[in-house]
């Protein structure tokens, strides 16, 4: 199947003669990269004539870095010298007039022949990339770092190759939560911008005793200003080639670094707690992801401290966000105590209800390749079940984010 980046609804029909029936039309560069990531045998991308030249060039550079065997063909209404020169510099395989379907057909054939040779389809298979998982909520204090470090430590302890990246570049707590003393951080990759490779990535990794690898935030908040979103995207793309799983802990904001992480992620784990500000921010997060075009099926909601007696119930959260909750993690004083000791509770107390809930989530949603992204998560812990049974359904439609709620 050929990937076509074009906003024209009739694009597939327009280029059917030249390209064939199997065309996947997408409307953003992020969708192009996700389509390439989900199909390791795809070798051809076509960029439509109305796509901005700068955006098209950035995509060509990204494809060249991530999947050098993939051919990218540029369509333009007019073939101008400046366009041809820029296309040559950024890595397009061919530039074709959009109304010349015969030339487009020939360009596709030539490009695929070259790509198949480079990919070694007759012998060597393309490199399999790991799964990138973003842990996010737009409100602080929901437990993102605690969940990220525990999931990473658990997955590393059972033999998975896992990298945990601290993207809270100004105030990240991954290092202190795991009692690490990193000799390097994300900031040390700045000098490698545009040239990060496996060796460069390994030079900033700090290992945890569980088997988990980490890339920690800079020790000085001011260093965050030197780190660009492009650097973060490049780092994460390289990381996916080196690890089975890349877990990304984030700050509570849609910064350029967080958006770069969402661009390369396969799954977004979104957190909520039983308080209206957290639920409101989760709902706004879901709306924002819709506007940015991130697929709904790749989002999973976790309710942290789900048994807190605060007058808000699980059903209220589901009604507000209009999305099921995949996992519910109970509250416990043992969790902050484990954070203070710098030992993940999943390793320190593996039979604790919090540990059991997080392990069940990891086994069901992260470690199982074919696991569905969205389904109700069964609650096996008795205390959680009792909490659900005692929750009364709302007497009227919940309107958490409107005036006049009492």
**Whole-number Å distance between alpha carbons of 342 and 178:** 5
pLDDT digits (tens, 9 = 90+) for 18-48: 787 678 899 899 989 888 887 777 889 999 9
Q: Are 344 and 307 in contact (CB under 8 A)?
A: no
pLDDT band per the 50, 70, 90 thresholds, residue 51: very high
User: Residue 47's closest CA among 5, 94, 80, 8?
Assistant: 5
* Domain spans in the chain, listed from the N-terminal domain onward: 2-119, 131-390
CA distances from 312 to 277, 302, 332, 358 (A): 12, 16, 18, 22
CA 223 to chain centre: 24
**316-339 mean pLDDT:** 87
CA distances from 376 to 207, 276, 279 (A): 34, 22, 18
Say whether pLDDT at 119 is over 80: no
**46-75 mean pLDDT:** 90
User: Which residue has tokens 């109305």?
Assistant: 50
pLDDT digits (tens, 9 = 90+) for 156-211: 999 999 999 999 998 989 999 999 999 999 999 998 888 888 888 999 999 999 99
pLDDT band per the 50, 70, 90 thresholds, residue 392: very low
Q: What percent of the chain has pLDDT over 70?
A: 87
Q: Are 86 and 57 in contact (CB under 8 A)?
A: yes
Residue 369 confidence (pLDDT): 59
Q: What is the mean pLDDT of the chain?
A: 83
Q: How many Cα atoms within 13 Å fall on the side-chain side of residue 218?
A: 15
CA 356 to chain centre: 25
Q: How many Cα atoms within 13 Å fall on the side-chain side of residue 291?
A: 8
Specify the higher pLDDT residue, 80 or 148.
148
For β-strands 94-97 and 213-215, DSSP reports them as unpaired
Residue spans of alpha helices (H) in 26-100: 29-38, 53-66, 81-90
Specify the higher pLDDT residue, 295 or 269.
269
Count of positions (residues) in the chain: 406
Residue 323 confidence (pLDDT): 85
Does the predicted TM-score (pTM) go above 0.85?
Answer: no
Say whether pLDDT at 10 is over 80: yes
CA 361 to chain centre: 17
pLDDT digits (tens, 9 = 90+) for 241-268: 899 999 999 998 889 999 999 988 999 9
Say whether pLDDT at 138 is over 90: no
Residue 120 confidence (pLDDT): 65
Residue 276 confidence (pLDDT): 86
Q: Determine the CATH number of domain 2-119.
A: 3.40.50.2300
Q: Are 4 and 46 in contact (CB under 8 A)?
A: yes
**Whole-number Å distance between alpha carbons of 276 and 317:** 9
Q: Are 66 and 36 in contact (CB under 8 A)?
A: yes
Specify the higher pLDDT residue, 177 or 85.
177
pLDDT band per the 50, 70, 90 thresholds, residue 381: very low
Token digits of residue 239:
């990381």
pLDDT band per the 50, 70, 90 thresholds, residue 397: very low
Q: Are 259 and 219 in contact (CB under 8 A)?
A: no
User: What fold is seen in the domain 131-390?
Assistant: Rossmann fold (3.40.50)
């Amino acid at each position: 199947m050929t990937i076509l980046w074009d906003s024209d609804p009739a694009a597939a029909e327009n280029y059917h003669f030249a390209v064939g029936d199997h065309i996947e039309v997408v409307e953003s560069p992020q969708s192009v990269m996700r389509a390439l990531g989900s199909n390791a045998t795809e070798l051809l991308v076509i960029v439509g004539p109305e796509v901005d030249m700068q955006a098209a060039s950035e995509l060509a550079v990204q494809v060249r870095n991530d999947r050098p065997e993939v051919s990218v063909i540029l369509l333009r209404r007019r073939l101008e010298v400046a366009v041809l020169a820029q296309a040559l510099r950024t890595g397009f395989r061919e530039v074709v007039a959009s109304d010349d379907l015969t030339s487009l057909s020939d360009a596709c054939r030539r490009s695929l022949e070259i790509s198949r040779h480079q990919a070694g389809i007759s012998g060597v298979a393309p490199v399999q990339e790991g799964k990138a998982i973003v842990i996010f909520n737009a409100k602080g204090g929901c437990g993102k770092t605690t969940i990220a470090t525990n999931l990473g430590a658990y997955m590393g302890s059972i033999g998975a190759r896992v990298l945990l990246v601290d993207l809270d570049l100004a105030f990240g707590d991954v290092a202190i939560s795991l009692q690490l003393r990193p000799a390097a951080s994300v900031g040390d990759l700045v000098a490698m911008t545009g040239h990060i490779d496996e060796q460069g990535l390994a030079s900033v990794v700090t290992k945890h005793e569980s088997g988990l690898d980490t890339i920690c935030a800079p020790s000085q908040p001011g260093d965050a200003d030197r780190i660009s979103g492009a650097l973060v995207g490049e780092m994460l793309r390289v990381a996916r080639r080196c690890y089975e799983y890349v877990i990304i802990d984030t700050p509570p904001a849609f910064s350029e670094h967080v958006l770069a992480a969402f661009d390369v992620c396969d799954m977004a784990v979104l957190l909520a707690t039983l308080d209206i500000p957290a639920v409101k921010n989760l709902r706004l997060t879901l709306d924002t992801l819709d506007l940015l075009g991130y697929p709904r099926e790749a989002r999973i909601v976790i309710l942290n401290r789900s048994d807190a007696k605060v007058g808000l119930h699980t059903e209220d959260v589901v009604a507000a966000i209009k999305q099921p909750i995949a996992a519910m993690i109970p509250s416990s004083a043992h969790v902050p105590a484990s954070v203070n000791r710098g030992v993940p509770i999943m390793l320190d107390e593996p039979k604790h209800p919090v540990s059991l809930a997080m392990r069940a989530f990891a086994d069901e949603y992260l470690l199982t390749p074919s696991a569905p992204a969205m389904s109700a998560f069964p609650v096996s812990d008795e205390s959680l079940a009792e909490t659900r049974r005692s929750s009364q359904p709302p007497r009227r439609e919940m309107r958490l984010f409107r005036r006049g709620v009492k």
